Amino acid sequence: MQQQFREKDEIIIPENPVSRFLFSSTRSAWIWLFIRLYVGYTWITAGWKKVTSDAWTGEGAGGAIQGFVKGALAKAEEGHDVSAWYAWFLEYTVLPNAKVFGFMVAYGEVLVGLGLILGLLTGIAAFFGGLMNVSFLFAGTISTNPLLFIFATWLVMAWKVAGWYGLDRWALSYLGTPWTRSNAHRGSAISK
């Protein structure tokens, strides 16, 4: 009885045509391919520079993170660009574990770049790329982070089709994401 009540109270609002095209139609997949390749290339090149740098993953691992964090803490002390709560996180979590965070950032950037370029788990890769962008922004670093964060957010929203021209086309169906042709379900959202 309670299940029937819930179904009667549920209202399904159909997507507008623009959202349906951008986020649910494979016809838009070429748009996401270009965005994916640009963002992926940006991440993989930045990550590879870090992976091959002594200050990130070599003998001096953690040195680059320490310098970055100290710069962010100086901005926080001046009252510019870095919030007190994020400065606390940087000082008491990141700084004492700079070596670990150095490896995480360097290899994380490479993995995000690979995921986006290959179109494998695109939404997840874009989410973690966006998370790194926000972390850099919170630390007071502008650079390309706002643009990359916007693109990452769009790719997360378009996860169903963003990897269509990539490995997601097969990986997501293997993992249980059902992709069906639109004519099989046309109007089903409206009729429910």
Q: How confident is the model at residue 37 (pLDDT cuts 50, 70, 90)?
A: very high
State pLDDT tens for residues 122-162: 999 999 999 999 999 999 999 999 999 999 999 999 999 99
State pLDDT tens for residues 153-190: 999 999 999 999 999 999 988 887 766 554 544 444 43
**pTM across the whole model:** 0.85
Residue 161, Ramachandran bin (φ over 0: left; ψ between -120 and 50: alpha; else beta): alpha
Is residue 53 in some structural domain? yes
Please state the rounded mean pLDDT for residues 40-62: 97
| pLDDT for residue 174 | 84
What's the first-to-final CA gap in the chain, in angstroms?
Answer: 18
According to DSSP H, which parts of the chain are helical?
2-9, 17-24, 29-51, 63-77, 84-89, 98-118, 122-138, 145-157, 159-162, 168-174, 182-185, 188-191
Is residue 6 in some structural domain? no
Residue numbers of the domain that contains 110: 29-177
State pLDDT tens for residues 54-111: 999 999 999 999 999 999 999 999 888 899 999 999 999 999 999 999 999 999 999 9
Domain count, the chain: 1
Is residue 1 in some structural domain? no
